Amino acid sequence: MDIQTWTFIIVGLTFALYIGIAIWSRAGSTKEFYVAGGGVSPLANGLATGADWMSAASFLGMAGIIAFAGYDGSVYLMGWTGGYVLLALLLAPYLRKFGKFTVPDFIGDRYYSNVARTVAVVAALFVSFTYVAGQMRGVGVVFSRFLDVEVNTGVYIGMAVVFFYAFLGGMKGITYTQVAQYCVLIFAFMVPAIFISLMVTGNPVPQLGFASTGEDGVYLLDKLDGLMTELGFTAYTDGTKSMTDMLFITAALMMGTAGLPHVIIRFFTVPKVSDARKSAGYALLFIAILYTTAPAIAVFARTNLIETVEDTPYEEIPAWFTKWENTGLIAWTDKNGDGKIQYLPGSAVEGRQPEFVEGRGAQGQRMISNASASANELYVDRDITVLANPEIAGLPNWIIALVAAGGLAAALSTAAGLLLVISTSISHDLIKKQIAPDISDKKELWVARFSALLAVVVAGYFGIHPPGFVASVTALAFGLAASSFFPAIIMGIFSKRMNREGAITGMVAGLGITCYYIARFKLGWIGNPETSTQEHWWWGISPEGFGTMGMLVNFAVSILVSRFTPAPPEEVQGIVENIRIPSGAGEAIEH
C-alpha cells in the first residue's frame, strides 16, 4: 500500500480511539471537566502528563531545531527536562496540597485578591494561546503532507478533532485520551529511530547509535561535522549563540516549565499528595524516553538530508522531496541553471520563510522569489525533520504513516490541555469566581464548553498565522510563563511575607516587559524596524530567552513592593505554613 493509504488507516484508527474515549469518559460535572473527578491513578496521570508535555514542539520541533542548530539546540533539551524536575520537586506537591482547580485559582486565594486572579487569568491566556499556536501549526504540517492538503486545511481538521473530545470530556476525557496518545506518539517516535540507527550504525539503541561509527568506520558526529564544514556551515558540534543567550534561554525554558498552567493542573487530578509525587516520577521516565532519543534523530536526519540532496540533479531527486515541495515546506531555486540542488550557508534553510513564485521552474521545481544567494538556494522547513526522516531513510510506508499519527497525537494532546486551561480560566476563574458566583454547576459547565469553542477558533487562527517555527513559538510561551507565573507561585508557597500588592505588580511588570520585547524583536509589531534586529537585542538576549529577564524583574518588583505594603492576613500566612508540609491533602476542592 502507498503512504497515503497507510496514513488514512493508522490515523483513522487512532482518531477513532480518541473520539471513542471522549464519548466513554464525557464529563458530567464541573469537577470532572476541570480535574477529572480527582481520581486518576499515578500511572495514568504520568502517561497523560507525558503526552501533555510532549507537544508538537517536542515531537516535531525539538529534533528539527537540534538538527539545524546543532549544539545551540541543546538549550531545549536542558531547559525542558531541567524545568520538569524543578516542577516535580518545588511546585507539584505543594499546589496539590492547596487543592485548587487552576493556577489563577491558587493565585487568587493565596493573594486574597480578585485583581490577582484576573491578572493570572490574563497571563494564562497569553501563555496558552502562544503555546497552542505551535500545536496547531504542527497539526497543519502533518496533514498537509500526508493528506495532500494545504497547511491551513490541516489546521482546520485538527481544530475539529481536538474540539470534539475537549468539548465532551473536559479534563476527564482529555486525561484518558492522552494516555492513548502517549502510547501512540512514543511508539511512532521510537520505531523509526531504532530502524534508522540499525541502518546507519548497526546499533539498535538510538541514544548510543548517534555516538557510534557508521559503515565507513567514521564516528557519525565527526562525519556530520565534516559535511557541515565542507559546505561552509559551522561544525554541528560547535555553537554560534553567546553563552549569555544560552544561559537565559535555558533558564526561561526551565522556569517556564515550572509555571505552565496546563502541566500544573495535571497534578490536581490525582487523589493524594503522594500520588502527585509518584505521577511526576512516572512522567519524568516517560518523557526521558523521547528526550534522550531526539538528538539521535536530529543527527540521523541532518546527515541523511545532506547526503541525499547536496549536488543532486533535480530530475534524480527522490519522490519524498517533490511530495514535501507540493506542501510549500521544501523549495528550491536554480539560480545558476545547472539543474542541481545545492545546500549552502546563507540560503533559506537558515530560517527565513520563503516567498513563492507562481508556476514552476525549468526543472519543474517550486520557485522561491526572495532568493539572495549567488548560487542555487534551498529552503527546508525545520518542522518536517521528524516526519521526513523515515522517507529520506527509505523506511517502509507503514512506519512513515505511523510517524504522522505520532505527530498528530503529540500536537493534539497538548492542544487539548491548553484549551482546557483557556476554558477553565474563563468559566471558573472569571465567571464563577468573579462575575456570576451564583451560577449553577450545569451552566458553568456549558460556559466552559463554549469557552473551549472560542479558544479553538483563536488557536486555529494562530496556527494558520504562526510567528515562527513550532519549537521557537513554544519557547516564547515558556518565557511568558516564566515572567508571570513562576515568581508568583514560588513566593506564594515559600514566602509568608509576599502579599497581593507585590504579586500583582510583579506579574504585571514581568509579563509586560516580556510581551514588549517579543512584540518588538520577534513579531515586529512595535518599534522602528531598523532598531528591532538581532544587533539591537538588549544585552544580546534573544526573544526566546528574555523570559528570564522578565522573571527577574517580576521577583525584584514583587519583593520591593511587598516590603513597603502591609503583610498578608494571619489566615493567609497560616495557609502558607500549612501547604509547606505536602501531606494530608484531600481531593481538589473549592474554597
The phi and psi torsions of 336 (rounded to 5 degrees) equal: -95, 0
DSSP H or E segment with residue 356: strand 356-360
Residue 121 maps to a domain: yes
Residue 403 maps to a domain: yes
Residue 229 maps to a domain: yes
Residue 361 maps to a domain: no
The phi and psi torsions of 129 (rounded to 5 degrees) equal: -70, -35
List Cα–Cα distances, 536 to 353, 512, 519, 522, 549, in angstroms: 22, 19, 14, 12, 16
Residue 410 maps to a domain: yes
Name the domain count of the chain.
Answer: 1
- pLDDT in the model for residue 461: 80
- pLDDT in the model for residue 560: 95
- pLDDT in the model for residue 319: 81
Residue 429 maps to a domain: yes
Residue 74 maps to a domain: yes
Look up the CATH number of the domain holding residue 465: 1.20.1730.10
Query: Which segments of the chain have a pLDDT < 50?
Result: 37, 348-352, 371-374, 582, 584-591
The rounded distance, in Å, linking the Cα atoms of 117 and 494 is: 19
Please name the residue that has the C-alpha cell 516590603: 563
Contact 360, 331 (CB under 8 A): no
The rounded distance, in Å, linking the Cα atoms of 333 and 366 is: 7
Record the pTM: 0.76
Q: Where in the sequence is the domain holding 28, given as residue range(s)?
A: 3-305+388-469
Residue 553 maps to a domain: no
Residues with Cβ within 8 Å of 145's Cβ and at least 6 positions away in sequence, in order, are 323, 324, 327, 329, 384, 387, 404
